[in-house]
Chain A
Amino acid sequence: SAVISQKPSRDICQRGTSLTIQCQVDSQVTMMFWYRQQPGQSLTLIATANQGSEATYESGFVIDKFPISRPNLTFSTLTVSNMSPEDSSIYLCSEGGINTEAFFGQGTRLTVV
């Protein structure tokens, strides 16, 4: 089973600023996934990150707002840009899940004030 280290675990940010979330996997993986979980809601996929290519974004999510990096097969970052209170959510990274078991990071609890 993969172990994913995600940081920060939580943050309180001012509106208009940006936050970068990091995920480190203990093994090489082809795809990593970024999810958002709004208060009281289930998980929604933001984008799929492949090493060496641009991330693929789901409907309703755009690169300018959620730029993603995937510099190698064990690491990815998600930036939440120009934040507003509506961006307050838990953000999670994962690997696997299409036809294998999925594993998740510990989540980043973001509050925008």
Chain B
Amino acid sequence: KQEVTQIPAALSVPEGENLVLNCSFTDSAIYNLQWFRQDPGKGLTSLLLIQSSQREQTSGRLNASLDKSSGRSTLYIAASQPGDSATYLCAVSPPSLTFGQGTILTVHP
């Protein structure tokens, strides 16, 4: 059974810092890995999708990498802003999406 772990569980940083969120999964036979953002009490917003054949994806200040063989992904956020404060979730498939517990990020001014 696939298990997804995210480290750290919570992170508090001052504005402007570059930071890394980690995601690991136990079964390397994945189709893709997706990073999401969730604001309190809200739904999920897709940030980046990395397919199993890819090594990384970038969108603005976000960069996600995937090392499928070692079962790891990292989400790099450059020049963090208070608006980045949210819970970040990673998920892998198949058969359906299996989610990690999330990293709660707080960026303070």
Category for how many chain B residues contact A? 20 to 34
* Cβ–Cβ < 8 Å partners of B96 in chain A: 33, 45, 48, 97-98
Partner of B42, one of A42, A45, A48, A106: A106
Interface locus among B11-19, B61-69, B72-80, B87-95: B87-95
Question: Is B44 located at the chain interface by the 8 A CB criterion?
Answer: yes
**Contact indicator B95/A41 (Cβ below 8 Å):** no
A67 to B5, CA, bound (A): 31
Partner of A99, one of B41, B43, B93, B100: B93
A98 to B51, CA, bound (A): 11
| Per-position 1/0 for A93-111, Cβ under 8 A of B | 0100111111111110100
**Contact indicator B34/A107 (Cβ below 8 Å):** no
* Cβ–Cβ < 8 Å partners of B7 in chain A: none
Question: Is A13 located at the chain interface by the 8 A CB criterion?
Answer: no
Partner of A42, one of B43, B45, B89: B89
Q: Give residues 11-52 of A contacting B (CB, 8 Å).
A: 33, 41-43, 45, 48
B96 to A, closest residue via Cβ: A45
How many positions in chain A have a CB within 8 Å of any CB in the partner chain? 24
**A103-B46, A104-B44, A109-B41 known; A42+B32 contact, CB < 8 A:** no
Question: Is A53 located at the chain interface by the 8 A CB criterion?
Answer: no
* Cβ–Cβ < 8 Å partners of B36 in chain A: 104
Say how far A38's CB is from chain B's closest CB, in angstroms: 12
Question: Is B101 located at the chain interface by the 8 A CB criterion?
Answer: yes
**A42-B89, A97-B34 known; A102+B97 contact, CB < 8 A:** yes
**Contact indicator B44/A92 (Cβ below 8 Å):** yes
What are 13 A-to-B residue pairs whose CB atoms are below 8 Å?
Answer: A10-B41, A43-B91, A43-B97, A45-B96, A94-B97, A97-B96, A97-B97, A98-B96, A99-B31, A101-B32, A104-B43, A104-B46, A105-B43
**Interface residues in chain B, defined as those with a beta carbon under 8 Å from any beta carbon in chain A:** 31-32, 34, 36, 41-46, 49, 89, 91, 93-97, 99-102
**Interface residues in chain A, defined as those with a beta carbon under 8 Å from any beta carbon in chain B:** 1, 6, 10, 33, 41-43, 45, 48, 90, 92, 94, 97-107, 109
